[in-house]
A = this chain, B = another copy of it.
Amino acid sequence: MLLPGLGAVATTFIAGVLLSRRGLARPVGSLTQMGTLRLGSRADDPTPSIREALPLTTLDDLAFGGWDIFPENALEVARDAGVLEPHHLDAVAEELARIEPMKGAFYPRYVRRLNGTHVKEAESKADMVAQIREDIRRFLREHGAERAVAIWCGSTEVFLAPSAVHQSIEAFEAGLAKNDPSISSSQIYAWACLKERVPFANGAPNLTIDFPAAWQLAREMRVPIAGKDFKTGQTLMKTILAPGLKARSLGLRGWFSTNILGNRDGEVLDDPDSFKTKEVSKLGVLEDILQPERYPDLYGDLYHKVRIEFYPPHGDAKEGWDNIDLFGWLGYRMQIKVNFLCRDSILAAPLVLDLALLLDLAARAGLHGNQEWLSFYFKSPMTGEGLQAEHDLFVQSMELQNTLRQMVGAEPIVHP
C-alpha cells in the first residue's frame, strides 16, 4: 500500500492493521473486515462474512509505504498526532518506526499553511512524475510485491477548477512538461500511479483524479480509481439523516453545520482557499439527496451553511455541531441538534483499508476507470459528466453490496 501523505490518518491506519494482525485490536469501521454479505433469499439466509465470501487480500499480506513533506517516521508521526494511546503504539513501535516516508512532491502554492522540509527537487512537474514512478517501482521491488494500491491521505489543496490542461492525456502531459500552474501536487502523484497501473483513491476533496484526462488514462491503463473526500463525521451524519427525514416527507428550512478541530487538517482548512475546496465538497450533499426541484414545498427554501474552525484544544478529536430546522404537518417547526464528538482519523482509517482492498479486488476482476459503486465511502462521489452523484448512504450501501454479490455470481438483493 502506498500512501501519499503519511500523517495522522495514514499512521492510524497502519498501526491499526499491525495491531489487528496480532489480535490486539479490531478493525472496527471496516466493512471488509467486520461486515457480512447476504447471498440468496431470506429463507436460506446464507450470510457469510465479506472476508469469507470474497478473495480479498488479507491483512497479513499488506506492506506499507508512503510519501510526506516531513521526514518523521510513522511512529514519530503517530505519537505527535496523539490519536492512538501509548499502549497501542508501544505494541507495534518497532514496525512503525521502520516506515519512513519517501520525499514528497510539494508545491507550496497549493497548500498554504504548511512548509515542507522533506521534499523532492525536480526540473519540471514531468520530472516529478518520473521520480514518483521510480519510487513506486523501488517500493514493489523492495517488498517483493506484485501489485500496489495508492490512497491519497494528504492535505486539502486550494480550490482549482479543471482547466484546458485537464481535458486530455496529451494536454496534461504537455502541462507537466511546462509546469502548468493548474497541476497541483496531488495530481502529480495520481498521474504517476496511473502510469504504473496502481489503482488510486482520493481521500481529500482535491481535483487529483477528478478530471477527464485522469479518467481517460485510468481507462487506457485499465486501472480502477475512486473518489473523492472520505465521508466521515458530519457529512456521514448528513447522508444518514437527510434520507430519513425525506423518507417521511418532513420539510427542511435550514441546516447549519459547524466543525471544530485542531489537527493539521484544521490548520490547512483555516486558509480560505483550501476551505473553499472542502466547502464545495460538503455543500452539494444535501441538494443531491433532497431534490428540491422535485419537492419545492419541502426543500425549496433550505438554507444550508457549513463552517470549519481551527480549534487547537481538540487536536484530532473533531467535533461537529449541527442545527437542523425542520417542519412538519401544516408547516409547524421543529429542531434537531446533533453534537458529534468524533475522531477524524479513527473514522477515516477503516476507509483507507476498505478502499485499498476493494480497489485491488476490482483491478483483479478487470474493472477499471471510475468505480461509482464505492461512492459509499466519499463525500463527493465522482460521477460521469451530466450525472448526479448518489449521496444517500443507504442507496450507496446497496450498490456496493450488489456489486460484491455480482463478483461472486450471486443475484442482486433489494435490501440487506
Contact = CB atoms under 8 A, between A and B. Distances in A.
Interface in A220-260: 236-237, 239-241, 243-245, 247-251, 253-254, 256, 258, 260
Contacts of A244: 236-237, 239-241, 393-394
A181 interface: no
A25 B297 CA distance: 11
Contact of A249 (B28, B250, B298, B398): B28
A216 interface: no
A383 interface: no
Contact of A313 (B47, B87, B88, B303): B303
A358 to B, nearest CB: 14
Q: Taking chain A's interface residues, is the majority helix, strand, or loop, or is none over half, making it mixed?
A: mixed
Q: How large is the interface on A (under 10, 10 to 19, 20 to 34, 35 or more residues)?
A: 35 or more
Interface stretch (A166-174, A206-214, A323-331): A323-331
B341 A338 contact: no
Interface in A140-158: none
A363 to B, nearest CB: 23
Contacts of A25: 330-331
A105 to B, nearest CB: 28
A312 B323 contact: no
Contact of A343 (B88, B321, B332): B332
Interface stretch (A108-116, A124-132, A278-286, A346-354): A346-354
B346 A341 contact: no
Given A47-B294, A298-B34, A395-B415, A319 B323 contact: yes
Given A334-B346, A392-B415, 6 more contacts: A28-B251, A239-B244, A254-B311, A321-B321, A337-B337, A395-B415
Q: 7 tightest CB-CB pairs across the interface, nearest first?
A: A240-B244, A254-B313, A25-B330, A394-B394, A34-B249, A337-B339, A29-B328
